[in-house]
Chain A
Amino acid sequence: MSTPTKTPVERPPMTADLAPAGTRKALFSASAIRSYTMVIALVAVWIIFTAITDGIFLEARNFSNLMRQTAVTGILAVGMVMVIIAGHIDLSVGSLVGVTGMCAVLTQATLGWGLVPSLLAGLFLGLVIGALQGSLVAYGKIPSFIVTLGGLLAWRGATKGISEGNTVPIQVVAFKRIGQAYLPATAGWILAAVAIAIILWLTLRRASSRKQHGLVPWSAASIAARIIIPSALILGLVVAFNNYAGVPIPVVILIAVALAGAFITQNTTFGRYLYAIGGNSEAARLSGINLKSHVLATFCILGVLAGISGIIYTARVGAAAPDAGTLLELDAIAACVIGGASLMGGRGTVFGACLGALFMASLDNGMSLKNVPDFIQDIVKGGILVSAVGLDFIGRRRD
C-alpha cells in the first residue's frame, strides 16, 4: 500500500468517485430524501392552510405562535428520537412534563425557592427519573415499553399527589417569561449574526479538512451553497419573528436543544454508537460498545429534556396543572416517526424529528384557526401519522 504523500494531488485516484459521491450520496441518501419529502409536505401544508385561512396562517403573529407551540413537542422529540434510534421507546414523557413542571412551581410556592433553584429542581427530577427508568431498561433488562408505561402511570399519580389535585399558579413572574416572553429585536439579530458566523467557520474548516485528508475538495459553488442556504433561512426566520414581537424564548431554547441534539447524533462517537446499538445491538456489543451505559445516558438525556419541556409548558400556561402534558408522549413519538425514525431502531434524525414536530403543530394550529372541532383534529392527525409512515414503508420496500 503506497504511503500517503504530502501533496494531496499526488494521491492515487479515489475509489470510484468516492469523495464526490460523499457529497452526492449525502444529497441523495435515503434519509436525505426523507427530509426533502418532509419539507415539501410541510410547505404544502403551509400553503394550503394559508389559502384556506385567507392568509392568516402565515401572518407574523400566527407564525410566531406556531413556532412557539412547536417548542414543547420539539424539545421532547429531540430526546425521544435519540431513545428511538437506540432501539427503545419512552411512553412516560408526558407525565414527566407534568411532574417536573409541578415540582418547579411547588418548590417556589410552598418552599419559597428562587427562580433558578426551583427550575434546577425540576430539571434534576427529570434527570433522576430518566436515570431510574434508564437503569431498569439497560441493567434490569426490562423492556422499555413496560418500564415507561409504568412510569407514565406512576409519575402522573405522583403529580396529582404532590399537588393534591390542585392547579398551582406561578407567582414568580420571571418564570412565566420563559414561556411567554420574546427576545428583543437586537438580541435576535445578534444571535442570527453569531449563527451565521459559526456556519461560515464550520464550513470553511471542513473544506480545508477535506483537502488535508486528500479527499476531493468541495467546489466554490458547493461551499457557497452550504453557507448561503442555512444563513438565508436563519435570516428569514429572524425577520419573520421580529415582525411580530421578536424571537420567542421557547423557540430559542428549542433551537439550542435541536442544535445540540443534532450535533450529538451526527458528530459524536456517542451518537454514532446509538445508531449502531439500534441498528444491530449484537454487532454493536461485539464491537466493544457498552450498550448499558449508552442506553442509560439516552434516557437521562430525555429526562432532562422532558424537564425543560415541562418548565416551558408550565411557564406558557402560567400554572402547573395535575394533568399537564397528558398524551404529549404520543405527539413526540409521532413527530419522530413522521420525521423518518423507525421504531425498530437504528434510523432517524433530530432534524427530521423537529420537522415532524413542526408538521404536527402546523396541523394543530391550522385546524384550530378554522375552528375544526377537537375530535376531528385528532382523527386527522391519526390518519396522517399512519399515512406518512405507511407511504414511507411502501417506498422502502420497493428498493
Chain B
Amino acid sequence: MTAATPMLEMVKIGKTFPGVRALDNVTLDLFPGEVHALVGENGAGKSTLMKVLSGVYSHPNYDGEISINGEPRRFRNVHEAEKAGIAIVYQELSLVPEMTVGENIFLGREPRRFGVIDWETLYERASVLMRDLQLDIDPRTKVIELGVGKQQLVEIAKALSHEARILVLDEPTAALTEAEAETLFRILASLRTRGIGMVYISHRLAEVFKLSQRVTVLRDGRTIATHATSDLDEQRVIAMMVGREVSQLFPSIARTSGEVIFEAKNISSEDPNVPGKYLVRDVSFSVRKGEVLGIAGLMGAGRTELLATLFGCYPGRTTSQVFVEGRKVEINNPADAIANGIAFVTEDRKRSGLVLEQTILRNITLAALPKVSGRVVTNEEREVAAGERIFRNLQVRANSLFTIAGTLSGGNQQKVVLGKWLMINPRVLFLDEPTRGIDVGAKQEIYAEIDKLAQAGLAVVMVSSELPEVLGLSDRILVLHEGQITGEFTRANATPEAVMACATGQAVHA
C-alpha cells in the first residue's frame, strides 16, 4: 500500500432511480494490493456503487467520475469495464450449470484455432488457473455437480481469468464452508502481493477486520467515513452503519408468548440432486402463539429447505411430523399448509411470491381467493373491499390496488406478499429473509408489522441471514449449521458472537 496514486478513484458518484436517490456524493478509492472493505446495511448502496463501477450502470446514467490509474474513464457497458481490468464476483452466481468449469471460465472468450474452439488449450489454461489458485477442482467437471462453495470459488477464478487488476467481491463467503473461506483468504492474500486491488463487500465484520486495510461505510447512499481498519473497532463500524443505536431500529418488545401452537418433529430433507445427502437432518422445534422464533445460520445451512419442507413445497424426499394446535397434520403441498393456517413468505418475492405483471389486488387475494372473493364465481367488489383493508393496514405505497406489482419498490412488493399471506388469516407465519433487498425505512415498517402480528397472537418463524435482525426481533433463536440445530438462545442470552459461532459450526449451545 505504498503507491501514491490510487489505482481506482470513484469521486462524487450519484445515482437516482425513480423516487429514490440510491447514491449521493459517494467517494471511494483503492490502492494496488489493498483490500478495501465496503460495508453498510442492505440498501445502503453498496451493490449500486459496484454496478456503476462495473459498467452495469453505464455512463452517462450516473453522476460523478471514475478514474483508473489517474485517468478518467467512462464505461458504456460491462465489456468496456472488463477490458479496463475490473471484475466483479456477485453474490448470485452467474455460472451456466450444465457447462463445465472450463467452459464457464472462458465463456465468450474461448481460445480458437482456425475458427473452431480449441478445447485442449481451454482446459490447459483452466487447469493452470486452478493450480495457480491452489483449487482442487477438475476443470472438466460440470458446475452443477459442485457444491455451492466450490461454485463460488470457480466464479472467483473466472473473474481472475479476465486479468483483472481491480476485483470486487460481493459477500464472497456467504456460501462457503470454513475451509473454503480459508482457501479464499489465501487466494486474496496472494492477489495482494500481485498488486491487485480488491473491494470486499461483506456483512461479516470479523472478516472485514481480518482481511482489510481500510474500511468505507455507506449509509442511505452516502459515504459516512473511510478509515484505516486498524483505527476502528466493530462497535464503531456498526454505529456508523446503522447511524443510531441498533436497538432503535427494532420495536422495543414487550410480548408474552402463549401456548405451543406449532410443532415440527424429526424433520429430514434429502437433497433432490444428490441422493443420500441430507440438507435438513433430524430437526425438531416448536413455536408458541405470539412468539417470534428466529432461525439463524449461514447460506446452505438448510433453513430455507426446512421451511419449504414444513410448507409442503420441498422438491426432494422428506420425513416430517407436524403438529398444529396439538393435532398431527399431513402437509404434502402448499394447499394443505394453507388449510392448516400456515403461511410462507419466501425469500425471493419476484420469483415465487408475486405475479409481477398483475395488479396488487390480484396478487394480494391470490392465496385466499375462495374465501375473499367467491369459491367458484369471483365477486370483484368483495375482493376490492378486502384488498383495500390490507393495503391500508400495511401502508403499501402505491397509487391504487390496480397498480401493477412489478412497478413497486422492493419494500412495497414485500408488503404485498405479506398482505397476501395475512389474508388467509394464518396461525403460523414463515418468513424467509423478510427484508432482503429492502431499504431501511421499509425495513423498520416491516419490523413493526412483525411485532404487531406477534402481539396479536401470530406465531412467527423467521429465517434471516442478518444477525441484527434476528437478534433484534426474536424471542428465541435457533441456529442451524449444515442441516442440524447447533444452538438455541433466548433474547436474553443471545449475542452476535455466540450465534455466529454456532452458525459456523465452531460451537454448540443448548
Contacts and interface: CB of A to CB of B under 8 A. Distances in A.
A311 B374 CA distance: 35
A61 interface: no
B376 A269 contact: yes
A209 B400 contact: no
Contact of B355 (A1, A212, A268, A284): A284
Contact of A279 (B357, B391, B392): B357
Contacts of A275: 355, 358, 362
Given A287-B367, A288-B335, A15 B400 contact: yes
Nearest to B374: A269
Contacts of B352: 280, 282-283, 286
Interface in A321-349: 346-347
B408 interface: no
Contacts of B344: 286
A215 B384 contact: yes
B393 A1 contact: yes
Nearest to A285: B334
A97 interface: no
A373 to B, nearest CB: 41
Given A15-B388, A25-B400, A290-B335, A283 B353 contact: yes
Nearest to B344: A286
A267 B375 CA distance: 11
B186 interface: no
Contact of A269 (B353, B375, B420): B375
Interface size on A, as a range, is: 35 or more
B184 interface: no
A172 interface: no
B369 interface: yes
Contacts of A19: 384
Given A16-B400, A22-B402, A212 B381 contact: yes
A213 B384 contact: yes
Interface in A205-238: 206, 209-210, 212-215
A38 interface: no
Contact of B358 (A21, A213, A214, A279): A279
A244 interface: no
A206 B381 contact: yes
B236 to A, nearest CB: 42
Interface in B99-126: none
A212 B362 CA distance: 21
B356 interface: yes
Given A282-B352, A288-B338, A15 B370 contact: no
Interface centre among A25, A276, A287, A289 (most CB of B within 10 A): A287
Interface in B387-427: 388-389, 391-393, 399-402, 420
Interface string B410-450: 00000000001000000000000000000000000000000
Contacts of A346: 355, 357-358
B381 A286 contact: no
B381 A215 contact: yes
B243 to A, nearest CB: 32
Nearest to B399: A16
A1 B377 contact: no
A16 B396 CA distance: 12
Contacts of B358: 275-276, 279, 346
A14 interface: yes
A209 B10 CA distance: 59
Given A15-B401, A215-B385, A288 B334 contact: yes
Contacts of B380: 206
B402 A288 contact: no
Contacts of A10: none
Contacts of B391: 15
Contacts of B313: 285-286
A280 B349 CA distance: 11
B210 interface: no
B400 A18 contact: yes
A213 B381 contact: yes
Interface in B80-106: none
A203 B252 CA distance: 51
Contacts of A164: none
Given A1-B392, A288-B334, A288-B338, A269 B378 contact: yes
B373 interface: yes
B498 interface: no
A270 interface: yes
A278 to B, nearest CB: 9
A267 B381 contact: no
Interface in A72-94: none
B385 A214 contact: yes
A285 B337 CA distance: 12
A377 to B, nearest CB: 35
A90 B334 CA distance: 28
Contacts of B338: 287-288
A206 B389 CA distance: 20
Contacts of B382: 209, 213
Given A213-B385, A286-B344, A18 B401 contact: yes
A17 interface: yes
19 contacts: A1-B392, A1-B393, A17-B400, A19-B384, A22-B384, A210-B381, A213-B384, A215-B381, A268-B376, A268-B378, A269-B376, A276-B358, A276-B362, A280-B351, A283-B366, A288-B333, A288-B334, A288-B335, A288-B338
Interface of B: 311, 313, 333-335, 337-339, 344, 346, 351-358, 362, 366-367, 369-370, 373-382, 384-385, 388-389, 391-393, 399-402, 420
Given A1-B389, A290-B335, A346-B355, 20 more contacts: A15-B388, A15-B392, A18-B384, A18-B388, A18-B401, A22-B401, A22-B402, A206-B380, A209-B381, A213-B381, A213-B384, A267-B377, A268-B376, A276-B362, A282-B352, A283-B355, A286-B311, A286-B352, A287-B420, A290-B333
